[in-house]
Amino acid sequence: MKLNVIVPLCALITLTQQAPSSETCFCEFTNSERAFPHDKLSTAEDSASRCNTNITPQKTLELESLMLGLERRLPRLEEDVATLEREDDGELYGVISLQVVQNELADIMELITRLNNTTLEHQRLTHVTTTKLKDLKAEMQELETFDTMQVVRGKLDNQRLRTDLDQCRNTVHDSTNTSNSPQVSQGDCPHGQFRNISGPRVSTAGEYPGSYKYGAWGRDPKPEAGKESWHWLVLLTSANKHSNYVRLYSSLSALIGGVSTPGNVLIHTANPTTNTIQGPNVVMYRGALYYNCYNQDEVCRFNLTSKTVANMKLPKGTRYNSKGNFCHLDECYPFTDLDLATDESGVWVTYTTKQDFGNLVLSKVEDDEQLRLGQTWYTSVYKQGVTNTFMVCGVLYATRFVDKETEEIFYSFDTTTGKENFNLGIFIRKMYPNILSLNYSPVDQMLHAYCDTYMVSYKVLFS
C-alpha cells in the first residue's frame, strides 16, 4: 500500500522537476491563536503533585496518635499524683511514687515536644500549601483561556487511558504470579479475603469455672503426628500475671468437659522464676509454647518435648513488665506488653518500644533451629488504643473495645504491601466484657479468645 503511494509521488516529483514552468504553490497558514504554553502546564502539574506528597494522611495520623497518647497519659498522671499526695506524710513523699510520676512527666514532656514539632510542621505546610494552591489556581485559570484546543482535556484522557492500561497490566501480572507460587506466603491467603467474624461458636468455662481471669487457649497449627486435635490451655495462676505450665486436652470436647488426659507440662516448679510465662498472650506452634519471659523484654520458646527453653531478646527500648499494655478507656490489661500470634506463615510478635512512642511494632519470629527475630514492621496505631491483635495470612489485625457486648476489629496492617487501614468495621459479639487474649488458628480458621475466665471461639469468614 505504502509502496503504491510512494511510487506515483516520486513520479510526480520527477514530473514537476522536468516541467519547465516556474509555477509554485504556496499555502499560507495563519494561526490567530497564541501558542499553547506547554511548559507552564507542566510546571503547574509538578507543583500540584509536590503539594500532594507534602500532605499525606500519614501526617494527620501522626498528629492524631500523639493527641490520643496525651489524652490517655494525662489522667494517669493525675492519678499517680493523687497517690503521691496520699502518701505525703508531711515531710517525705513516697519515693517510688515520685519516681513513677517523674517517669510519667518525662514521657509526657517528650510527647508534648513531638506534638509541638508536628503542629509547627503542619502550620508551615498548611501555609506553604495555601500559597501554592492560590498560585496554582491563578495559573490554571490563565491556562484555561489558552485551552481552546483542548490540550488539558486531551492530556487527562491520555492519563485515564494510561491508568486503565496499567491496571490491566497489573491484573495480568498478579494472576500469572500467584497461580504458580506453590507455597502460602505472607499476604497470600488461600481462603480468600478476610470479610467478617461469625457469632460465638464455642463458649465454655472449662475445667476451672471462674477461677482464673487471665489465660489463653487454642490449637497448635503445626502439631506433632497424632496430636492433631489436641487443645492447649494456659492459665495465669500466680497473681493474674504468671504461669509455669501448659495444660493439654486431647480434643475440644475434652477441654469443654474438663478432662485433661495428658495433663500439665511443667516449665519449672517455681512460679514465678526465670523463664516463667508472663502475661496472657501466648501461642503454641510446632509443639512449643511462645510467650513473654518473666521480667524480660524477651520471647521465650518452651519445647514441650525436650522441656527446654530458648530465649530471644527484643530490640532495645522494648517496653515490658506491664509498661506497654493493651488498653481501653476504663482499663489497661496488665502484663500484655508482648502479644504472640500464629498464622499460615508461622509465629509473630507485637510489642511497643520507647523510640516508637507506644505505637505497635510487629516482628516475625523465625523458629528454625535457632530462635531469632525476623523482619520488623512499624505501624502507626497507638497500642493503648488497642485491646488485642491477631494475624491472618500475613495481615495484622487490631481490636478495640466498643462496649461490654462489642469489640471492633478496626485496624489492619498488611505486611506485604505495608498498607494500613484504620476503618475496618468488623464487629465481634462478646459473651463477656474483656478479651484478654485473642489468636487465630490457621488450621480451622477459628479465632480463640479468653474472656474473663471463659474460653470463646469464633469462625473467621472469608470471601
Ligand X SMILES: *[C@@H]1O[C@H](CO)[C@@H](O)[C@H](O)[C@H]1NC(C)=O
Residue 353 is classified by DSSP as B
Q: From the CB of 431, what's the least distance to ligand X, in Å? A: 13
113 belongs to the binding site for ligand X (CB under 6 A): yes
370 belongs to the binding site for ligand X (CB under 6 A): no
Q: From the CB of 80, what's the least distance to ligand X, in Å? A: 22
Q: How many CB atoms lie within 10 A of CB 449?
A: 30
From 16, 170, 305, 355, residue interacting with ligand X (rule: CB under 6 A): 305
322 belongs to the binding site for ligand X (CB under 6 A): no
177 belongs to the binding site for ligand X (CB under 6 A): yes
Nearer to ligand X, 60 or 123 (CB): 123
Provide the CA 53 distance to its chain's centre, in angstroms.
Answer: 22
> How many alpha carbons fall within 13 Å on the CB side of residue 325?
20
Residue 418 is classified by DSSP as -
* Strand bridging mode 420-421 / 426-429: unpaired
Nearer to ligand X, 40 or 59 (CB): 59
> Grid coordinates representing 319?
517496653
Instruction: Find cell 477461677 and name the residue.
Output: 211
338 belongs to the binding site for ligand X (CB under 6 A): no
Q: From the CB of 207, what's the least distance to ligand X, in Å? A: 26
176 belongs to the binding site for ligand X (CB under 6 A): yes
Q: With contact defined as beta carbons under 8 Å apart, do 391 and 341 qualify?
A: yes
Stretch that binds ligand X, among 242-250, 284-292, 339-347, 382-390 (CB under 6 A): 284-292
191 belongs to the binding site for ligand X (CB under 6 A): no
> Grid coordinates representing 19?
516541467
Stretch that binds ligand X, among 57-65, 229-237, 281-289, 334-342 (CB under 6 A): 281-289
3-state DSSP call for residue 227? coil
Computed on alpha carbons and rounded to an integer, the radius of gyration of the chain in Å comes to 32
Rounded CA-CA distance 232/284 in Å is: 8
Nearer to ligand X, 48 or 443 (CB): 443
From 198, 238, 250, 274, residue interacting with ligand X (rule: CB under 6 A): 198
Q: From the CB of 111, what's the least distance to ligand X, in Å? A: 9
Kind plus residue range of the DSSP H or E element containing 170:
helix 151-179
Instruction: Find cell 498488611 and name the residue.
Output: 414
Q: From the CB of 372, what's the least distance to ligand X, in Å? A: 12
- How many of the chain's residues bind ligand X (CB under 6 A)? 18
445 belongs to the binding site for ligand X (CB under 6 A): no
Nearer to ligand X, 103 or 253 (CB): 103
- Sheet with 231-235, strands from edge to edge, namely 215-218, 231-235, 245-249, 263-266
From 42, 167, 170, 306, residue interacting with ligand X (rule: CB under 6 A): 306
Residue 29 is classified by DSSP as -
Question: Mask: binding to ligand X, 61-100, rule CB under 6 A, as x and -?
Answer: ----------------------------------------
CA nearest 343: which of 186, 457, 179?
Answer: 186
257 belongs to the binding site for ligand X (CB under 6 A): no
Q: From the CB of 138, what's the least distance to ligand X, in Å? A: 32
Stretch that binds ligand X, among 41-49, 83-91, 261-269, 280-288 (CB under 6 A): 280-288
> Grid coordinates representing 164?
486503565
**Which sign, positive or negative, has the C-alpha torsion 179, 185, 187, 190?**
positive
Nearer to ligand X, 295 or 303 (CB): 303
Q: From the CB of 43, what's the least distance to ligand X, in Å? A: 30
From 6, 120, 156, 266, residue interacting with ligand X (rule: CB under 6 A): 120
Phi, psi of 402 (to 5 degrees): -100, -60
From 173, 201, 313, 419, residue interacting with ligand X (rule: CB under 6 A): 173
Q: With contact defined as beta carbons under 8 Å apart, do 355 and 261 qualify?
A: no
Rounded CA-CA distance 280/103 in Å is: 26
CB proximity list for 68: less than 8 A, separation 6 or greater: 382, 384, 385
Q: From the CB of 404, what's the least distance to ligand X, in Å? A: 17
Binding-site ranges for ligand X (CB under 6 A): 113-114, 116-117, 120, 173, 176-177, 196, 198-199, 286-288, 303, 305-306, 367
